[in-house]
């Protein structure tokens, strides 16, 4: 069953006009008010897709590192999107920014494995994004789609950047081990305009080409804003 986390606005204000600004969100000690969701699958098929999203302690051997935003789902549609979102404020109102991302995840998926439809590690793309409107799913003829442009699988969209995959450093064929993995958009940025209050929505998720179960923890998320 999907667990909906309470959504709140995180306010970080620097009082510096349109100067560069960074939001560093640490999910190891708090869920930061972020909310989990799913899209790219048929309406009414939550149980069949085995969907779940909750804030929980990290598994061994990471259990001493705190908590994370956990998501799980069985990708029967070959394109399941699992995501978390949250709003931040404190930017200059109605101002255009270029944004880059750094994300830390916990994954137990080895590298170099072959999977159904795609690899369980390399075939699951992690994306980070930003939008002036709240990212949400919409019912499009009985199929859940997103109201923002994240694109599909390995492709970046207008509102989201593909920043890496789920494979960790354990070679395929060995017992799975949960590891932390750092992902970054590097020099690649995405453009967004803040709303009239200086707020935007941030989100992070997985876009899967692996037609089986994916489990992930999001542990840290950083978005750096530079005015255009």
Output the DSSP codes for 75-129: -TTS--EEEEEEEEE-SPTT-EEEEEEEEEEEE-EEES---SSS-TTTTEEEEEE
pLDDT of 11 > 80? The answer is no
pLDDT at 29: 94
Residue 207 has pLDDT above 50, yes or no: yes
Structure confidence by residue, pLDDT tens digits, 111-162: 999 877 788 989 999 999 999 999 999 999 999 999 999 999 899 999 999 9
pLDDT at residue 190 above 60?
yes
Question: What's the confidence (pLDDT) of residue 18?
Answer: 62
pLDDT band at 209 (very low <50, low <70, confident <90, very high): confident
Q: What is the CATH number of domain 9-227?
A: 2.60.120.200
User: Mind listing the pLDDT tens digit for each residue in 35-62?
Assistant: 999 999 999 999 999 999 999 999 999 9
Domain regions of the chain by residue span: 9-227
Supply the pTM of this predicted model.
0.90
Instruction: Provide the mean pLDDT of the chain.
Output: 91
């Amino acid at each position: 069953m999907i667990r909906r986390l309470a959504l709140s606005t995180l306010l970080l204000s620097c009082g510096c006009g349109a100067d560069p600004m960074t939001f560093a969100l640490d999910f190891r000690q708090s869920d930061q008010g972020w909310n989990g969701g799913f899209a790219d699958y048929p309406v009414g098929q939550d149980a069949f897709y085995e969907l779940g999203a909750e804030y929980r302690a990290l598994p061994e051997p990471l259990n001493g590192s705190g908590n994370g935003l956990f998501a799980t789902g069985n990708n029967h549609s070959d394109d399941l999107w699992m995501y978390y979102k949250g709003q931040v404020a404190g930017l200059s109102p109605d101002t255009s920014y270029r944004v880059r991302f750094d994300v830390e995840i916990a994954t137990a998926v080895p590298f170099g494995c072959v999977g159904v439809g795609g690899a369980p590690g390399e075939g699951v793309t992690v994306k980070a994004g930003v939008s002036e409107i709240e990212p949400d799913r919409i019912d499009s003829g009985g199929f859940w789609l997103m109201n923002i442009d994240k694109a599909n699988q390995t492709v970046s969209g207008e509102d989201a950047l593909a920043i890496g995959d789920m494979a960790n450093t354990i070679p395929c064929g060995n017992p799975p081990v949960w590891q932390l993995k750092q992902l970054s958009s590097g020099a690649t940025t995405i453009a967004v305009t803040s709303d009239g209050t200086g707020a935007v929505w941030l989100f992070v998720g997985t876009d899967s080409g692996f037609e089986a179960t994916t489990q992930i923890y999001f542990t840290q998320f950083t978005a750096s804003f530079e005015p255009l």
